[in-house]
Amino acid sequence: MNTRKILYQYGYRRCLDQDRSSPARHPVVVVGAGPVGLCTAIDLAQRGVPVVLLDDADRIGEGSRGICYAKRTLEILDRLGAADPCLEKGVTWKIGKVFQRNDLLYAFDLLPEDGHKMPAFINLQQYYLEHALVERAAALPNLEIRWRNKVVGLKHRNDGATLTVETPEGRYDLDADWVVAADGARSALRGMLGLPFQGEAFEDRFLIADVKMKGDFPPERWFWFDPPFHEGHSALLHKQPDDVWRIDLQLGRDADAKAEQMPERVIPRLRQMLGHDDFSLEWVSVYTFQCRRLERFVHGRVVFVGDAAHQVSPFGARGANSGIQDAENLAWKLAFVLKGEAPESLIASYDLERSAAADENIGHSTRSTDFIAPRSAQELRFRDATLALARHAPFAKRMVNSGRLSMPSTYDSPLSTPDTDRWSGSAHLGAPLPDAPMRDHSGQPIWLLDAIGGEETILHVQNEAQPPVGSRVLIIGKDLVDEHGFFTQRFDAHPGSTYLVRPDQHLAARWRHAAPSLIEEASRRLRGFGEGHA
Amino acid sequence: MSTLVTESRFIDPDRAYRALIEAHRGLSEEESAALNSRLVLILANHICEHVALQEAIALAKQSMESLDTASE
């Protein structure tokens, strides 16, 4: 049962580095071609940094897999040139429903407003995402993927690291100025450096099943507490492409993982849930989970990203989504440092910003788990009391926690220049910019985030004064026209308002009226030349 | 500075106490525990101060410690 029907197979190919007498030297070697490693590699390559991406396997499509990709992740994928196939294939959804027994407790809408290019979420089997990313990577001449290249040794140097790589044709060494460890929750690199991976383990077992069927369920996230078909536990139903449905059933802590995966045990359970047996099993697994992290994500010239750096429970879709946000946070910083446009200490801000994000994700994930899988009689009482009160009092509805779905982090960061003016709207200092539909100078529709792309950008709302100067300035009212007023509202924009945007599209600074010296200072600060980054 | 008020605030504290007792009359252990859980959630929301909630938890736990030492 633990094999996927769809696999993409890639081949091992001997590379020139294997025939060298001394190790070849590369600016960046990324280890692990999952979604996070692929995104890191693509982002770096797009920024002009040559990348070698190593993976110990030669195919994708195996193992327990993420299915929910959030709006911010889709925006990042779009910038990386991989969103279109995902959107085309994925199931777009934004409505979630929470049931107790058979009764609807409440429904939520994750993206209640118009004027965003990307939907709140899509569901997509992880192998489709990985496939889209591999295809995109293949189109980049400065990105080389080496399949069946397994890292078996890692040695720190002052100015980088040396990796020993095992292939079907033997071993070779590689020197890297920087190593990005994207080798997953069981990270071998983490082990090689002897780094502890600490946190909380949860005892409850969950059954995860992908079922193929033609169903009339809408593309919504349905979560049940104590459903009649699975008494005393929780259940989740979620649609994926190809008529595949993800089902997640809480089994309790005493469940026998092996027995529960047997079709003769799984099928009756699902029959009870779905009310028929007109389905086939695509994949079944029983899992427990941990919420844990590395104390630091940067160790010399080795940087940990994604599950290798931090691990969360699946509730809230915070694994792949936060990992891809790690990738985008790190890529522009590494590119700046490698090109000598920023001090090496800029990388410390990756640790700072993404550590805070990891803590936020682990916090949400742990609290969801507390609610979904209570660990004592009294925890269960509080949970059931909340569910019962939810029918009567709005406050309790807000306490019902079936997973708080992934939202991007707002960085409280030394790279940000603190606000000196008052701002309203949905743009926040340190957060990714809200998108907005605009028109370009020729009147063509363009999304704000597409116009900004991956470069440090100054957005300036036209007024009588001279526009600011910088490496890249977009003038609202000239280069971009805010036809429908979304930009004005979301950015609380007035004539003269100026915004400095980081290469990862997070807001670094803003002014009602910006003096050139302030913009220059904020730009230096964004690159880690500011205070605290000596 | 403490935000949890521990000075007596009810004009008639006996009446408030009595209201809690009456609410539990005739309930089984499990029903009482369920009622208390609901009450805690409702009152915590009404207080709506995280610091006060933490201090209330600390005070409740502190009073349990003295219970433990007394019984030793």
Taking chain B, what is the end-to-end CA distance rounded to the nearest angstrom? 33
| Backbone φ, ψ for residue A226 (5° rounding) | 50, 55
Closest B-chain CA to A395: B45
One DSSP character per residue, A127-190 reads HHHHHHHHHHHHT-TTEEEEET-EEEEEEEETTEEEEEEEETTEEEEEEEEEEEE---TT-HHH
Residue B7 resides in a domain: no
Q: How far apart are the two ends of chain A, measured CA to CA in Å? A: 54
Q: Distance between CA A2 and CA B48 in Å, rounded?
A: 48
Q: Taking CB atoms and an 8 Å limit, are B41 and A378 in contact across chains?
A: no
Task: Say how many C-beta atoms besides its own lie within 10 A of residue A517's C-beta.
Answer: 8
Most confident of A108-112, A199-203, A224-228, A295-299: A295-299
pLDDT class of A6 with cuts at 50, 70, 90? low
In a domain, B50, yes or no: yes
Interface test with B, best of A382, A392, A399 (most B CBs within 10 A): A382
> Nearest chain B Cα to A389, which residue?
B38
- Examine residue B6 and state whether it is found in any structural domain, yes or no: no
pLDDT, tens digit, for every residue of A120-166?
A: 999 999 999 999 999 999 999 999 999 999 999 999 998 999 999 99
pLDDT at A171 over 90: yes
pLDDT under 70: residue ranges of chain B:
1-2, 66-72
Mutate to test the interface with A, among B40, B45, B48, B53 (most CBs of A within 10 A): B45
The interface pTM score, or ipTM, of the predicted complex is 0.92
- CA A492 to chain CA centroid, Å, is 28
Structural domains counted in chain B? 1
- Whether A396 and chain B come into contact, CB under 8 Å, resolves to yes
Radius of gyration of chain B (CA): 14
Report the helix count and the strand count for chain A, using DSSP H and E: 14, 30
Measure the CA–CA gap between A99 and B27, rounded to whole angstroms: 28
Alpha-carbon dihedral A347, A348, A352, A357, rounded to 10 degrees:
20
Distance CA A502, CA A393 (A): 43
The string of pLDDT tens digits covering residues A315-371 is 888 889 999 999 999 999 999 999 999 999 999 999 999 999 999 999 998 899 899
Residue B26 resides in a domain = yes
Residue B27 maps to a domain: yes
Residue B45 in domain: yes
List the domain range (segments joined by +) for residue B45: 13-71
Structure confidence by residue, pLDDT tens digits, A51-73: 999 999 988 866 557 889 999 99
* Closest-CA distance of chain A to residue B15, Å: 25
Both structure tokens of A44? 């770096």
Segment A371-406, tens digit of pLDDT:
998 989 999 999 999 999 999 999 999 999 998 888
Residues of B in contact with A399 (CB under 8 A): 41
CATH fold of the domain at A8-90+121-196+291-365: FAD/NAD(P)-binding domain (3.50.50)
**pLDDT confidence tier of residue A298, bands split at 50, 70 and 90:** very high
CB contact under 8 A, B37 and A382: yes
Q: How confident is the model at residue A407 (pLDDT cuts 50, 70, 90)?
A: confident
Q: Which residues of A touch B34 (CB under 8 A)?
A: 381, 384-385
Q: A437-526 sits in which CATH class?
A: alpha beta
- Residues of B (32-71) whose Cβ lies below 8 Å from A: 33-34, 37-38, 40-42, 45
In chain A, CATH 3.50.50.60 covers: 8-90+121-196+291-365
Q: Are A453 and A506 in contact (CB under 8 A)?
A: no
Task: Say if residue A49's pLDDT is above 80.
Answer: yes
**CB A385 to CB B41 under 8 A?**
yes
Return the biggest CA–CA distance within chain B. 41
User: How close A364 comes to chain B (CA, Å)?
Assistant: 17
Distance CA A306, CA B29 (A): 47
- As a whole number of angstroms, the distance between CA A280 and CA A294 comes to 40
Every domain of chain A with CATH number 3.40.30.120 lies at 437-526
C-alpha angle A77/A94/A107, rounded to 5°? 155
